[in-house]
Amino acid sequence: MGTPGVLVRFLFLLLAQLLLGSARGLHNASQRTFEISYDQNCFLKDGQRFRYISGSIHYFRIPCFYWKDRLLKMKMAGLNAIQTYVPWNFHEPRPGQYQFSGDSDVEHFIQLAHELGLLVILRAGPYVCAEWDMGGLPAWLLEKESIVLRSSDPDYLAAVDKWLGVLLPKMKPLLYQNGGPIITVQVENEYGSYFTCDYDYLRFLQKRFRYHLGDKVVLFTTDGVHEKLLQCGSLQGLYATVDFGPGSNITAAFLLQRNSEPRGPLVNSEFYTGWLDHWGQPHSTVTTEAVTSSLHNILAWGANVNMYMFTGGTNFAYWNGANTPYAAQPTSYDYDAPLSEAGDLTEKYFAVRDIIQKFAEVPEGPIPPSTPKFAYGKVALKKLKTVEEALDVLCPSGPIKSLYPLTFIQVKQYFGFVLYRTTLPKDCSDPTLLSAPLNGVHDRAYVSVDQVPQGVLERNRVIILNITGKAGATLDLLVENMGRVNYGRYNNDFKGLISNLTLGPDILTDWMIFPLNTEDAVEHLGGWGGHGDGHYVEARARGSSNYTLPAFYAGNFSIPSGIPQLPQDTFIHFPGWTKGQVWINGFNLGRYWPARGPQMTLFVPQHILRTSAPNTIVVLELERAPCGSDGLDLCLVELVDKPVISAALTYDRGSAELLSKDPWLDRV
């Protein structure tokens, strides 16, 4: 392993070389053309036959600190292009409130690709799927409850129009014709897989894209290889491409593209190098052999290909999506891709590079090495406060009162957690059934009565629960939004208590609803104080059940001095913890759920760590902390140097049948 100085010098030289290359290209913008040749069945770049070998990288899943590292590794694999989605909800978190800086600086990301000599295939949405919350559509669209997403619904179109009017003018100067790297722009995404099949909507998008980007840019669509999908997903004037993975019949797939596009380049816009995961299902893998043999054949066809993903990255914070019947995706989006979640070179990377080398020139010179990882070791956490004790910090404006429960959208909380509180209307000294008869807990509720944990309700899995308590006791349900459905008909995924709860036969009423601002609260945790030294006796809260009250825990660790290369990336492991959310120095790393798996550790990128002061880990454990009622167990997390995202599943998969019917898997 070289010293950082060597690496920096190497990167600098490579960058300088690449800069010179692209500067030459920029010299005369008016000479730059990128178009489809229907005569020669290919793309033409500056009038020359051109074929792209591309890989997907999602800037929104990688801290900008690491963008250049990942792009450079992609360049060195022999790719001449990269492909990214643009998730609308990442850039417009609230109506009219835009974010385009730091990790959201998509223009900077595209410029970086350009500086490295990579072309860019832009999938601009508005819908992107991507295993991303609501497929990239902002949750606030659901404020009109009956909205038909991805259709000509006028309210939907008005919001889309406004968004495209912000995004596309930023992209215009980055188009190839205008001196930038963007060669093609995708409109919508696998639209044929959606039930609406609304050509007016596609025509509307086509007009707006043309209006903002001009006549020259190649606009395209992508659909699965099925006649019906291509019918509903494509439109005259948008070049139709297909997506398929290893093992598919390539001849059949491209014949199908030829149905829609009798002439022009063959394009596989998503060639799957791996596959997505769900909590509670085994980690997906695709063998290197399967990937390379198909890739070889696609390239031998002379086709253009984009490998989805080339590097997957991470669903930080609350950004993961879900499939139906409801199954949420984990925090890691490793995807078994050629570059790992942490950007590491894998055997698949080198094998893919070897295949590319048979068809194209691969850059000479050393490949940037995998980043070193460091095991900082065990960190003891102290319990700070339960969510209930911290309500004044989590919800300073106080609760919203409502006879019946309101959804997250109705209280303008889009992500994270809302606490629903009412009182028991009658004595429940004997176990009494609390139930969500319409499966209306979206997605998971941590239930307590007078601060005694009662259990968990979970969408599609657990809709009844016995509780006990006296009349007038406080019933709390902390409801977690585990990520909105990103694919298929059920995109309109409302969160919270979306229907009434009953206690015995009676509908519960008179709710106090606390939308929780966890991010601000975590920032101010310093002033909360702790409960002792990491040993915590949870006498009252633990009760006889297996649950502890949802609570915040915090602890500090310092980066060892005297090791010059630190800080380095690491992975956080949760021995004995159950399910929750974790922050380091205020950066929301995402959800952990070792009790369900298969992901056991979370990626911690080094740029969030500091050497000047201790690093603070905050954990919100929702279900059961490892500190025992005997007071002997410590609340420990551990920072390790190897990821575990494919643990064997240990939990009871009694209701796994629900998951095995995942329509995503049948879509082709």
Q: Which residues would be at the binding site for ligand NAG (CB under 6 A)? A: 28, 30-31, 249, 251-252, 255, 382, 404-405, 431, 464, 466, 499-500, 507, 526, 530, 545-546, 554-556, 613-614, 616
Contacts of 282 (CB under 8 A, 6+ apart): 598, 646, 648, 649
Cβ(621)–Cβ(594) below 8 Å: no
Identify which of residues 309 and 441 has a Cβ nearer to ligand NAG in the complex: 441
Cβ(552)–Cβ(390) below 8 Å: yes
Identify which of residues 46 and 200 has a Cβ nearer to ligand NAG in the complex: 46
Q: Give the separation between CA 190 and CA 151, rounded to whole angstroms.
A: 14
> Any idea of the CA torsion for 527, 532, 537, 542, to the nearest 10 degrees?
10
Question: What are φ and ψ of residue 312, in 5° steps?
Answer: -85, -50
Identify which of residues 33 and 40 has a Cβ nearer to ligand NAG in the complex: 33
Of the candidates 270, 458, 480, 538, the residue annotated as catalytic is: 270
Handedness of CA 484, 488, 494, 495 (dihedral sign): negative
The least distance separating ligand NAG from the CB of residue 31, rounded to whole angstroms, comes to: 4
Q: Give the separation between CA 261 and CA 284, rounded to whole angstroms.
A: 33
Of the candidates 92, 190, 388, 621, the residue annotated as catalytic is: 190
The least distance separating ligand NAG from the CB of residue 28, rounded to whole angstroms, comes to: 4
**Angle CA 286–53–242, to nearest 5:** 70
The least distance separating ligand NAG from the CB of residue 527, rounded to whole angstroms, comes to: 8
Identify which of residues 259 and 546 has a Cβ nearer to ligand NAG in the complex: 546
The least distance separating ligand NAG from the CB of residue 499, rounded to whole angstroms, comes to: 4
Identify which of residues 99 and 545 has a Cβ nearer to ligand NAG in the complex: 545
> Does the annotation count 35 as an active-site position?
no
Residue 301, token pair as written in the block: 């066809």
> Does the annotation count 523 as an active-site position?
no
> Any idea of the CA torsion for 637, 638, 642, 647, to the nearest 10 degrees?
-40
Cβ(606)–Cβ(595) below 8 Å: no
Cβ(205)–Cβ(156) below 8 Å: no
Contacts of 123 (CB under 8 A, 6+ apart): 83, 84, 85, 86, 185, 186, 189, 222
Q: Give the separation between CA 89 and CA 380, rounded to whole angstroms.
A: 36
Instruction: Lay out the sheet containing 636-640: strands in order across.
Output: 377-380, 636-640, 570-573, 601-604
The least distance separating ligand NAG from the CB of residue 467, rounded to whole angstroms, comes to: 9
Identify which of residues 20 and 464 has a Cβ nearer to ligand NAG in the complex: 464
Question: What are φ and ψ of residue 575, in 5° steps?
Answer: -65, 120
Burial of 378 (0-12, 13-18, 19+ CB in 10 A): middle
Amino acid present at 46: D
The least distance separating ligand NAG from the CB of residue 398, rounded to whole angstroms, comes to: 22
Identify which of residues 439 and 500 has a Cβ nearer to ligand NAG in the complex: 500
- Provide the 3-class DSSP secondary structure of residue 495: coil
Identify which of residues 60 and 547 has a Cβ nearer to ligand NAG in the complex: 547
Identify which of residues 326 and 511 has a Cβ nearer to ligand NAG in the complex: 511
The least distance separating ligand NAG from the CB of residue 228, rounded to whole angstroms, comes to: 17
- Provide the 3-class DSSP secondary structure of residue 306: strand
Catalytic residue numbers, as ranges: 190, 270
